Amino acid sequence: MQKLTRKSILPGLTALLAAIFAVAAFSAGHGIGVAQAGQTITLIAGADNNDESESPFQGRKMKMIEEQIVARGIDDPKTLSALKKVDRHRFVPEHLRHMAYEDRPLPIGEGQTISQPYIVAFMTQALDLKETDRVLEIGTGSGYQAAVLAEIVAHVYTIEIIESLGLRAKEALGKAGYTNIDVKIGDGFKGWPEHAPFDAIMVTAAPTDIPAPLKAQLAEGGTMIIPVGQAWEQELIVLEKIDGQLLEKKTLPVRFVPMVDEKGETY
């Protein structure tokens, strides 16, 4: 994918480019199963023994934030500060670590992907989070998005349907030092009623309709962001619960992996 440089972006074109790149990057990566059956994908242990200030990853991370996130109009200080704190390279398979800060989603095994950094930032900003919030995420995947949320809010509950991914994410989050994230293996369509209601809900796999249990588990005044649609054409929808009613706003066209049930059937 063509790299953006600061000079190549005229301010007036930022929003348009952002939308185009969001779609282009998803076309390039989402939904494409790259891992072969039986392929072992190992997550690198945290770079705890390295001098992080000299790590080439830190420079790449700052460049990612400037060129992919700030240049496209993300300006929420909480989101930007969280992105600075989380090492994305700790959440991608070892053989793709050198690509961790590129402008695209990446395969994480089991035919699933870690979202493009811009989409992570866009979805995080859209939730308008407070530090006291309790957030539900559906689709733990690599654990990266959960980590970004956990830098901002009090607690993150995240659900992943593929056991191997959920366990790996849990390990990566533990190594990165997070103590405010609970990972559950299960079907996120049903939400997590024991911990409801949630101040915010972020769904990172796409159902064809908004799951009723998730609507019910959103707190009054809360916000949900969810990709909704068929496998190849979805809208990222923001919902706000006001006086018990859900107000709906369409944002970006996106391409996420479909939400599936425990038999692998799409919702």
The smaller minimum CB distance to ligand SAH, of residues 78 and 184, is found at 184
Rule CB under 6 A: say whether 79 interacts with ligand SAH: no
Should residue 159 be labelled a site residue for ligand SAH when binding is judged by CB under 6 A? yes
CA-wise closest residue to 267 among 188, 192, 183, 185 = 188
Q: Sign of the C-alpha dihedral, residues 123, 124, 128, 130? A: positive
Q: Are 115 and 203 in contact (CB under 8 A)?
A: no
Residue 26 in the binding site for ligand SAH (CB under 6 A): no
Asked if residue 87 binds ligand SAH (CB under 6 A), the reply is no
Question: Catalytic residue among 8, 115, 142, 164, which?
Answer: 115
Question: Measured between alpha carbons, how far apart are the two ends of the chain, in Å?
Answer: 31
What would the x/- binding string for ligand SAH be over residues 186 to 215, using CB under 6 A? -xxx--------------xx----------
Which neighbouring-strand residues pair with 206? 258
Instruction: Pick one of 68, 79, 113, 116: the residue that binds ligand SAH (CB under 6 A).
Output: 113
Torsion sign over Cα 184, 141, 214, 245: positive
User: What are the φ and ψ backbone dihedral angles of 26, each rounded to 5 degrees?
Assistant: -70, -35
| Token pair recorded at residue 236 | 């990222």
Cα dihedral sign, 164-170-174-177: positive
Stretch binding ligand SAH (CB under 6 A), from 53-61, 78-86, 107-115, 175-183: 107-115
- Residue of 101, 144, 157, 192 interacting with ligand SAH (CB under 6 A): 144
Annotation says 115 is catalytic = yes
Residues that are catalytic: 115
Interacting residue ranges for ligand SAH, rule: CB under 6 A = 112-115, 138-139, 141-142, 144-145, 159-162, 165, 187-189, 204-205, 257, 259-260
